[in-house]
Chains A and B, each alone.
Chain A
Amino acid sequence: MKWGLQDVHLTRGPNVALAGVTVPVDPGRLTVVVGGDGAGKTSCLEVLAGLAEPSSGAVYRPGLERIGYVPATVGLYADLTVQENLDFIARAYRLSARERDRKADELLQVTGLSGARHRLAGQLSGGMRRKLAVSMALLHAPELLILDEPTTGVDPVSRVELWRLIARAVADGTAVAVATTYVNEASRGACVVLLEAGAVVASGSPEEILNSVPGTLGTTQAPARPTALSWRRGASWRVWEPTGTLPAGVRPVRPDFQDAVVAATLATERAEHGRHA
């Protein structure tokens, strides 16, 4: 890996936030850190950005002038206009006026914010604010782009535009690390790190995660929950059986990425439970 975390441990007060987490982030590739609330996604990105200090492990990141970071809180100056926010970033990274104008025009064009150039950031919609924040992080063409839940609470159209922006950065050779709670978004990553309670549950390309699902997965239309290790998927149930033998009436099914993530999480929980029992 060029950038990223290697076997990083982080404690916050008495709690272990990260336990031996490795997150590779390479140029021209998208790494997605996925997990539920409190899984450690933000901690991962904070350590990567230099905002949190791990107790052990190695952190690889470029100099600050080559990092772009968008926190989960977006981090815009609400009382500045879209243009003024971009101007501030341009001055902070010492971009020339020509470079600033060229990049700002380009990013505002891509994000559809050209018409909102003179609106206060505080008056933008949630999606527009996220797009502006990502544009600000991309303005100085960083080598490493770190985005904490960039699409949370964003409407579907803006979400597509945001992913287009991210894909564009990846295509330009930027190493991008994104945290998300949406499993369907995680499958966009060249590398996916699935976190649960601060530990890595599964890691690798979406195909590798898919192929590493332990046990057997089945589906059934049963009216009630068939087993403790089952979950709703549309109108049917998915049933995961770690021993490989599915209950009667459950038809085997090939897992997709979403199933793989849930099954991997259940497998980890079971293993954890077995250790404590």
Chain B
Amino acid sequence: MWAMVAKEFRELRRDRRTMAMMIVLPVLLLVVFGYAANFTVHNIPAYVAGPSASQAAALLRPPVFRVTEVDPAGDAATAQERLRDGKDVIAVVTGGAKPVVLMDGTQLFSVQTAERALAQVAQGAGVPPPQVQILYNPDLTTSWVMVPGLAGLILVFIGTLITSLGVVRERQSGTLEQLAVMPFRAWDVIVGKIVPYLILAAIDLVLIVVIGMGVFHVPFAGSVAVFALGAALFLLVTLGMGILISTVSQNQGQAIQLAFMVVMPQVLLSGLIFPISAMAAGVRWISYLLPLTYFIEVSRGVMLKATPISALWGPLGLLALLAVVVLGLAVVRFRRDLAPASRKAQTRPRTEEPAAA
């Protein structure tokens, strides 16, 4: 038995990725998610409008609220527009008989925190609680918020895991070597490899959205074209990650391990479950590096709030940037795997000329 135990430890010691998964990853996950797993939101961005904006803003104190703008000339329409475009989570509109507080219902935890805090503020000031109007998700239905995010998660799963497995399978079976010797350009192989997964992922995405709308009654308020653009850019990033993983994995086990390390943080740090604004500053920066963070912003914005493309250039641009960087890196590495001999011309490859005897 001890021989077996010793052998197992020896193997594990040489399998650095598994060791990393078993020792480093849990510690890292504990620290990162310890700071990320927080439902208590602070710094809720608030817009205050109307003639009594200054007085109302004075009541919205940190750390719960962060007043982004005090606009005495603003009105309910401006406030609603800012919420739709994701600039603020709550907007206080004064000037009527009673101040009206508009809230972005897609930000579940922020809204719940804001409601509690506003009740306390009103009680402290000895005034009746303001009239609260929750927009985009009036009943604060969790599935409405989750379905657009889950659509992204499925795309991460297909794009990253399934693609990397597909490419690694070629490497393991020796067919990648053969492809390199066949009259394909590197692009032919890469595009030929990606397109089926792209189509499958697109079908999956449509299915998820349709089921979400049919079964969970999630609205699709915005533009399908903007949603499709966001999904396409996001898919390119995830497919790029899948190919990148495949270029550093020798077998499917290694690919699964790496894909897990890439998918896991996206599940927990992208705002899918825990609100990004509730995360510690250090962890929040990790969120900003994850493509799912931006896709969720686009999908929730378009589906629930009908956010126009003009308000989504930020996340769309970042997704495009990530797509260029990740896919570019993946293509460079994949090309190197496919055509190592074409990199330098020291030899005379593919010449027709017979050698001098």
| Chain A interface, number of residues (Cβ within 8 angstroms) | 38
Instruction: For A67, list chain B residues within 8 Å (CB).
Output: 181
The answer to whether A63 touches B340, judged by C-beta atoms less than 8 angstroms apart, is no
| Contacting residues, chain B, for A50 (C-beta < 8 A) | 180-181, 339-342, 349-350
B175 within 8 A of A: yes
Question: Complex Cα distance A58/B342, Å?
Answer: 14
Interface size on B, residues (CB 8 A): 27
* Contact present for A71 and B178 (CB under 8 Å): yes
Cα distance A57–B348 when bound, in Å? 9
Interchain CA distance A51-B350 in the complex, whole Å: 12
| Inter-chain contacts of B357 with A (CB < 8 A) | 1
Known: A1-B354, A59-B347. A52 touches B340 (CB 8 A): yes
Other-chain residue from B182, B349, B355 in contact with A1 (beta carbon distance below 8 A): B355
Chain B interface, DSSP helix/strand/loop, else mixed: loop
* Most A CB within 10 A of own CB, among B180, B182, B347: B347
* Residues of chain B contacted by A116 (CB below 8 angstroms): none
Task: Scan B321-343; emit 1 where CB is below 8 A from any A CB, else 0.
Answer: 00000000000000000011111
* CA distance in complex: A54, B343 (Å): 11
Q: Which of A2, A51, A75 contacts B341 (CB 8 A)?
A: A51
Is B173 among interface residues, defined by CB-CB distance under 8 A?
Answer: yes
**Contact of A93 with B by CB under 8 A:** yes
Most chain A CB neighbours (cut-off 10 Å) among B175, B340, B342:
B175
Cβ contact within 8 Å between A77 and B175: yes
- How many angstroms between the C-alpha atoms of A4 and B357 in the bound complex? 12
Contact B177 A71 (CB under 8 A): yes
Say yes or no: A64 contacts B175, CB within 8 Å: no
Given the interface pairs A52-B341, A53-B340, A77-B175, the reply to whether A64 lies near B348 with Cβ below 8 Å is no
Partner of A71, one of B174, B182, B351: B174
Q: Is A188 an interface residue (CB 8 A)?
A: no
Instruction: Please measure, in the bound complex, the distance between the C-alpha atom of A222 and the C-alpha atom of B72, giving whole angstroms.
Output: 111
Asked if A61 CB lies within 8 Å of chain B CBs, one says yes
Q: Does A73 contact B (CB under 8 A)?
A: yes
Chain B residues with CB below 8 A from A69, complex form = 177-178, 181
Closest chain-B Cβ to A63's Cβ sits at a distance in Å of 5
B354 adjacent to A73 (CB under 8 Å): no
Residues of B within 8 A of A62 (CB): 350, 352
Cβ-based interface call for B346 (8 A): yes
Say yes or no: A75 contacts B350, CB within 8 Å.
Answer: no
Q: Closest CB of chain A to B175's CB: distance in Å?
A: 5
Interface residues of A (CB under 8 A from B): 1-2, 4, 6, 8, 47, 49-65, 67, 69-78, 89, 92-93, 146
User: Could you write out 20 A-B pairs with CB less than 8 Å apart?
Assistant: A1-B357, A49-B180, A49-B181, A50-B341, A50-B350, A51-B180, A51-B341, A63-B350, A63-B352, A64-B182, A64-B350, A67-B181, A69-B181, A72-B174, A73-B174, A75-B175, A75-B177, A75-B178, A92-B184, A93-B183
Chain B residues with a Cβ under 8 A of chain A: 173-175, 177-178, 180-184, 339-344, 346-355, 357
Given contacts A53-B344, A54-B347, A56-B346, 19 further A-B contacts (CB under 8 A): A1-B354, A4-B355, A47-B347, A50-B342, A50-B349, A53-B340, A55-B346, A59-B348, A60-B353, A61-B350, A62-B352, A64-B350, A67-B181, A69-B177, A71-B178, A72-B174, A75-B175, A76-B173, A92-B182
